[in-house]
């Protein structure tokens, strides 16, 4: 049953911004699947820090040189998009039990919507088990160090973003 090794695996999410935890999961995905398609949800309800165009550009930079990683945006149902791009696997990262309930519900709903698409959960390295985009933004904004938690390009873009938004409360050089 090695059929899906040849598969395109879709790794969906908000990636606002991509963290080392996401990077870890995508890399693990590459060790199993032929191609990993990082798919950024265009969500009109959310107010992201980075626009989808910025997120695409950042992720492209992070994976520059990895020919088996692609980046795209999608809206609507994930399974419809997966079908459209020929992906038969959905990758999701599971950091802790607290992620499980939501992920389990999503996986089963996606299976109900399209039983041909399999969800695969992957665990990041323990050192990233507490890392989330939301916490990274909060910590950075409050002057905390995030350099071990995000790729260098993300740290740079966070600095630029908060500078154009009026800087951080700490007044630290940006």
Decide the pairing of beta strands 69-74 and 87-93. unpaired
Assess contact for 88 and 10: CB atoms under 8 A.
no
Q: Which is nearer to ligand PNS, 3 or 47 (CB)?
A: 47
Nearest CA to 78 among 92, 64, 97?
92
Q: What's the rounded Cα separation, in Å, for the pair 115 and 99?
A: 22
The reply to whether 22 belongs to the active site is: yes
Which 8-state DSSP code applies to residue 83?
A: H
CB of 16 to ligand PNS, least distance (A): 8
| Binding-site string for ligand PNS from residue 52 to residue 91, where x marks contact by CB under 6 A and - marks none | -------------------------xx-------------
- Rule CB under 6 A: is residue 12 a binding residue for ligand PNS? yes
Residue nearest to ligand PNS as judged by C-beta position: 13
Nearest CA to 168 among 140, 134, 133?
140
| Binding-site string for ligand PNS from residue 103 to residue 122, where x marks contact by CB under 6 A and - marks none | ---x--xx------------
Q: With residue 11 as reference, give the H or E element that holds it.
A: strand 8-13
Answer whether the bond into residue 160 is a cis peptide, omega within 30°.
Answer: no
The reply to whether 46 belongs to the active site is: yes
Q: What's the rounded Cα separation, in Å, for the pair 51 and 14?
A: 10
Q: Which of 28, 92, 95, 168 is catalytic?
A: 95
Q: Which of 46, 134, 163, 165 is catalytic?
A: 46
Binding residue for ligand PNS, selected from 41, 71, 89, 91, defined by CB under 6 A: 41
The reply to whether 95 belongs to the active site is: yes
Residues with a catalytic annotation lie at 22, 46, 95, 133
Give the interface with ligand PNS as residue ranges (CB under 6 A).
12-14, 41, 77-78, 106, 109-110
């Amino acid at each position: 049953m090695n059929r899906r090794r040849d598969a395109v695996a879709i790794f969906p999410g908000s990636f606002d911004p991509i963290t080392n935890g996401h990077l870890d999961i995508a890399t693990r995905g590459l060790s199993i699947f032929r191609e990993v398609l990082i798919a950024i949800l265009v969500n009109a309800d959310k107010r992201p820090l980075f626009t989808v165009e910025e997120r695409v550009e950042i992720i492209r930079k992070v994976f520059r040189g990895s020919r088996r990683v692609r980046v795209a945006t999608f809206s609507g149902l994930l399974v419809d998009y997966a079908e459209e791009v020929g992906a038969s696997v959905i990758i999701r990262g599971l950091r802790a039990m607290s992620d499980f309930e939501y992920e389990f519900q999503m996986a089963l709903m996606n299976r109900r919507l399209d039983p041909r698409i399999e969800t695969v959960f992957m665990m990041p390295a323990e050192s990233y088990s507490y890392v989330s985009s939301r916490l990274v933004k909060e910590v950075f904004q409050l002057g905390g160090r995030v350099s071990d938690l995000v790729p260098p390009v993300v740290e740079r873009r966070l600095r630029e973003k908060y500078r154009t938004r009026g800087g951080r409360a700490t007044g630290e050089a940006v």
